[in-house]
Amino acid sequence: MVEKAEAIFKEFREHSIAEFFKKNRQMLGYAGKIRSLTTIVHEYVTNGLDACEEAGILPDITVKIKQLGHDHYEVYCEDNGPGIPKTHVGKVFAQMLAGTKFHRFIQQRGQQGIGATGCTLYAQITTGKPIHVITSTKNGKVYEVDIMIDVKRNKPVIMNEKEYDGDWHGTKVRGEFKEVTFNWSEYGPGEYIRRTAVANPHAKITFIAPDGRKITYNRAVSVVPERAKPSKPHPKGLTIDDLLEYAHHSKERTIRTFLVKTFDRMSNAKADEIEKLTSIDFKRKPDSLTWKDAEEIIDAIKKVKFLAPSTKELKPIGEKQIKKAILNVLEPQFHAVVTRPPSVYRGGVPFIVEAGVAYGGKAGRVVGDSVGAEIMRFANRAPLLFDAGADVITKVVNEVDWNRYGLKKVDTLPVSIIVNVVSTYIPYTSAGKQAIADIEEIHKEVKFALMEVGRQIGGHIRRERKKYEKQTKKMTLLKYVPEVAAAVAALTGDNKKELEMKLVKMIEKKYSGNGADEEEGEEQ
């Protein structure tokens, strides 16, 4: 038996995270030719937007896609961000789980340190070629390099380094990719860029397609969104494992100071309340907490009332900005936007839901010769085009009874339903970051937001319908004025033309909304 066990474990190997994703590239979003190309654009654009915003720069992003052959394209992306220091370029583009985002409790589009490296990996396994990067931090030097990944060690391989004088800041990245294809469908890069413009009205985005078509989305607002700051987890939503994890890594001397300094809205008074509800001495060291102790503290937290999570760490798009973006990109007949109050989900993670509905104009998606409703999903301003069936937003949109808001047969209407989930940590269903998990608290807030914008849009529709009905009645009555005037003139001997003028004036007054009510008008 020992020999058999030894024989089995001769093949036991340790693998790098890069090797894992090389064999499981679909987990990064590289599944299907259209989706793969959109995923590449998504990763480069989100990195550029995040970098610009962290540096307080209004983003100018240029994306150019060039066809090189059958299912073979070059993708070029340029941003005007702060650039990447020379010593970090390799890690940014060629080392999995290396980055500035995963370890911080902060709101950003990317959060795992996989995206740009995933693009390098995909270029490497489909073309065998490196990614070409040019970057400068405006230090008087420009750094240019080709980068590949040592998959076995999850380390960058740097080639053809150049450094020369230059006075600009930003990053340019160019790569060749096979097993990808471009089209103008609702899943393609063009639609991704369009939706990015909706959620990022402060950005100027230029997209040049393989067919030479150039589309520029000019910024609708000229203010950089306030920079998100690292936040603390909120006590509500903490699990026992979360609490122990934080406690065992804390450098505080007592459980009391650990609670007060680690968690949002946790004051000394709240810590006192929690201590009284437990049998634990809060003068003990945090790392002495056992599973049983943590259970007691979590049970006590559930009984204590806390203020809602602080919103200063969360930076939603904002109702004014969403309205400007909707008007700039969708040009709707009417629209409604709402921002929900902050809430938390498991682990004490704060989040905010924003929602909007745009009706008419360029809203909706084109299906052949007709237009139908579209769901525009976002996470921290980044569009989510794929895995819609697994996403909480899609599920909730389908649950809402749109008929009650005047949107009957919503699938056939020129409507765009927009939802943005803002959080320090988005609970994606996979490393591909294209669907938000159906977590109870998020589900509830998305539903409340959609019901609220539904009520607003319903009011618009009712007013428009009433206006249409009034106009129809008015036109019908005006059509019969000559006949009525002639009949009255024949009976009374009055001048027909004068009677016509009086009747027209009466109808105009009645249906202008400034006259008597309808019943009185009809009596006259």
pLDDT single digits (tens) 445-500? 999 999 999 999 887 776 766 675 677 777 777 787 788 888 887 888 788 788 77
Tokens coding 418: 């927009």
Q: Indicate whether this model's pTM tops 0.75.
A: no
Q: Is the confidence at residue 55, as pLDDT, over 50?
A: yes
Q: Is the confidence at residue 97, as pLDDT, over 90?
A: no
Q: Supply the pLDDT for residue 101.
A: 44
Q: Supply the pLDDT for residue 342.
A: 87
Asked if 174 and 74 count as a contact pair (C-beta separation under 8 A), the reply is yes
At CB < 8 A and 24+ separation, what contacts does 266-271 make?
A: 266/235, 266/306, 270/235, 270/304, 270/306
State the span(s) of the chain assigned CATH 1.10.8.
240-303
Q: Is the confidence at residue 115, as pLDDT, over 90?
A: no
User: Is pLDDT larger for residue 5 or for residue 312?
Assistant: 312
Q: Is the confidence at residue 107, as pLDDT, over 80?
A: no
State the span(s) of the chain assigned CATH 3.30.565.10.
17-217
Q: Supply the pLDDT for residue 232.
A: 80
Nearest of 519, 499, 521 to residue 510 by alpha carbon: 521
Nearest of 359, 320, 353 to residue 450 by alpha carbon: 353
Q: Is the confidence at residue 511, as pLDDT, over 80?
A: no
In the chain, the percentage of residues whose pLDDT exceeds 90 is 56
Give the architecture (CATH level 2) of 240-303: Orthogonal Bundle (1.10)
Q: How far is CA 356 from CA 367, 425, 436, 438, in A?
A: 22, 22, 18, 20
Residues 229-256 have a mean pLDDT of 87
CATH code of the region 319-461: 3.30.230.10
Q: 14-28, 362-376, 394-408: which range is least confident on average?
A: 14-28
Residues 269-283 have a mean pLDDT of 94
State the span(s) of the chain assigned CATH 3.30.230.10.
319-461
Q: Is the confidence at residue 438, as pLDDT, over 50?
A: yes
Asked if 409 and 401 count as a contact pair (C-beta separation under 8 A), the reply is no
**DSSP code, position 336:** E
Burial of 96 (0-12, 13-18, 19+ CB in 10 A): buried
Q: Supply the pLDDT for residue 111.
A: 42
Alpha carbon distance 512, 320 (integer Å): 31
pLDDT digits (tens, 9 = 90+) for 176-225: 999 999 999 989 999 999 999 999 999 999 999 999 999 999 999 998 88
User: Is pLDDT larger for residue 32 or for residue 111?
Assistant: 32
Q: Is the confidence at residue 19, as pLDDT, over 90?
A: no
Asked if 231 and 264 count as a contact pair (C-beta separation under 8 A), the reply is yes
How far apart are the two ends of the chain, measured CA to CA in Å? 105
**DSSP code, position 411:** G
Average pLDDT, the chain: 86
Q: Is the confidence at residue 175, as pLDDT, over 90?
A: yes
Q: Is the confidence at residue 24, as pLDDT, over 80?
A: no
Contacts of 252 (CB under 8 A, 6+ apart): 258, 261, 262, 286
Alpha carbon distance 206, 271 (integer Å): 52
pLDDT digits (tens, 9 = 90+) for 297-345: 999 999 999 887 776 778 888 899 999 999 999 999 889 999 999 888 8
CATH topology of domain 17-217: Heat Shock Protein 90 (3.30.565)
Q: Name 366's bridge partners.
A: 371
